[in-house]
Amino acid sequence: MDEKRREISNKIEELLKKSREKGLTDQDIQKQAGSLLKLQRKWSWRAWKRYCSILLILFFIIYALSHIEFIKRSYYWAAKTIFIYTVQYNGWSSFYMDECLIPNPFHEIRTLTNEDCELCENIKLIPRLSNISSALVAENFLKQDRPLIVTDAVDNTWPAVSLYNINFLRQIFEKEEELKSAPPCMYASNVRMKRGNLPKLLELASNNHITNWYAHWENCDKQAAKKLRTFYQRPYFMPSMVEGGETNWLLISSRYTTAKFKPADINLPMVWIAQLKGENKFRLTPREPCNSTCSPIYTTLKPKELLVLTDLMWILDYMPIGSEESVAIGSGGYFD
Ligand SMILES: *[C@@H]1O[C@H](CO)[C@@H](O)[C@H](O)[C@H]1NC(C)=O
Ligand SMILES: *[C@@H]1O[C@H](CO)[C@@H](O)[C@H](O)[C@H]1NC(C)=O
C-alpha cells in the first residue's frame, strides 16, 4: 500500500519537474490542475450517485430475498462465516469457542446429575402463587428446576380467556388464512385426520359428529403461531432473560376419558401451559437419573391457572378429564 502511494507521488513530482522544464510557471500548472480537479469532482459526483442507486437496489433485492427461508439461512451462514474470519484478524479468535459473546447467567449447557436430584426429592406438591416477581420466579423456580403454578397470569388481558372454546377455534381455523393453510407439525389424537386437518377436526367436533375425543398439536408454522399469539400475552412474571418460543401448542378435548397419560412434548427449555377452559390433569416425571430418587408429581389445572416448568428436569404428560370441553394452550422459552 505504502509503496504504491510513494510511486504515485514520485510520478506527480516527475510530471511537475518536466512541466517546469518545458517553461510552465507554477501558476499555469495550478490553473490546469484546477480544471482537471473540477472535471474529476463532477465525475465523482455522478459516479457517487450511480453507486448509491446501485447499492440501494442491491440492498432491496437482498432484503426481499431474505423472506425466503433457505436464502435467509444462507445469509446467516454468510454472516457467521464473515464474522468468524474477521474476528481472527481482529484477534478475537478466543470468542470462536464461546457459546455467547456476552455471558448470560441463565445460559449453560446443562445435563442432569445426581446432585441435581436433591432439588426434586422433596417436592410433593406444586405451589400455587400469585402476584409473583420475575426475580423470584427466576431464582426460586427456574434456576432450581422447581415447577410452579401461577394463578393470576391468565387474566382478562388475554383475549383467549373469553374466546377459546371449540366453536371459536373452529371459526378461526376456518376463516384465518394463516391457520387454515398451515398443517401442524405434531398432531396426536384419538381421531385420525389426514395430514392433521385441523379445520375438519374442529368442524366435526363443533357439530357433535365426534364425541369423546382429544387432540393436541403444535403450531410450527410461523404465521399460524403468530396468529395464535395474538390471543395471549407473554406471562407477566417471565424473567427478561427468557426469550419466548415461536411455536405454541393447543390441547383440546371433550368428554374424553382415559387412564393413559398423553405426552405433552413441548420441546423448549422452559415450558408453560395455561388452562383456558375445563380441566386437565398433569404429571411431571423426573428425568434420568433423578427418576430413581424423585417421584412423579401430579396436579390438576383449573381454568386460568398456568403451570411453569423446566424441561431439563421434567417430562410432562397430561390426561384430559372432566365432563366438559377442555382447552389449554402451551408455549415456552429459551434461556438466552
Ligand atoms: C403485589 O406485590 C407487590 C410487591 O410485592 C405489592 O406492592 C402489591 O400490593 C401486590 N399486589 C397485590 C394485588 O397483592
Ligand atoms: C429411569 O428412566 C430410565 C429411562 O427412561 C429407565 O430406564 C429407568 O428404569 C428409570 N428408573 C426408575 C427407577 O424408574
Q: Is residue 170, in this structure, part of any structural domain at all?
A: yes
Same domain assignment for residues 213 and 289? yes
- Tell me the pLDDT tens digit for each residue of 306-335: 999 999 999 999 999 977 899 999 999 998
Q: How far apart are CA 144 and CA 141, in angstroms?
A: 5
**How remote is the CA of residue 130 from the centroid of ligand 1, in Å?**
9
Same domain assignment for residues 197 and 312? yes
Local confidence band at 117 (pLDDT 50, 70, 90 cut-offs): very high
Give the ligand with the smallest distance to the CA of 315.
2
Domain closes at, from 27, 46, 65: 65
| Higher-confidence position of 163 and 280 | 280
- Residue 218 CA from chain centroid, whole number: 14
Q: Is residue 213, in this structure, part of any structural domain at all?
A: yes
Closest Cα to atom 6 of ligand 2: 288
Give the ligand with the smallest distance to the CA of 237.
1
- Tell me the pLDDT tens digit for each residue of 6-19: 677 677 677 767 77
Q: Is residue 57, in this structure, part of any structural domain at all?
A: yes
Q: Is residue 135, in this structure, part of any structural domain at all?
A: yes
User: Does residue 314 come out as left (phi exceeding 0), alpha (psi in the -120 to 50 range) or beta?
Assistant: beta
Q: Is residue 79, in this structure, part of any structural domain at all?
A: no
- Mean predicted confidence (pLDDT) in 281-285: 97
**How remote is the CA of residue 201 from the centroid of ligand 1, in Å?**
43
CATH (domain of 157): 2.60.120.10
Q: Is residue 256, in this structure, part of any structural domain at all?
A: yes
**Angle value at C-alpha 226, between 224 and 229, nearest 5 degrees:** 115
- Tell me the pLDDT tens digit for each residue of 35-89: 655 655 666 777 778 888 888 888 888 888 888 777 877 877 787 777 666 665 6
Q: Is 308 exposed, middle or buried (0-12, 13-18, 19+ CB in 10 A)?
A: buried
How many domains are contained in the chain?
Answer: 2
- Tell me the pLDDT tens digit for each residue of 214-242: 999 999 888 888 888 888 889 999 998 89
Q: Is residue 225, in this structure, part of any structural domain at all?
A: yes
Range(s) of the domain holding residue 11: 2-65
Local confidence band at 259 (pLDDT 50, 70, 90 cut-offs): confident
Lining ligand 2 with CB less than 6 A are 288, 291-292
Same domain assignment for residues 38 and 186? no
Q: Give pLDDT, residue 101.
A: 54
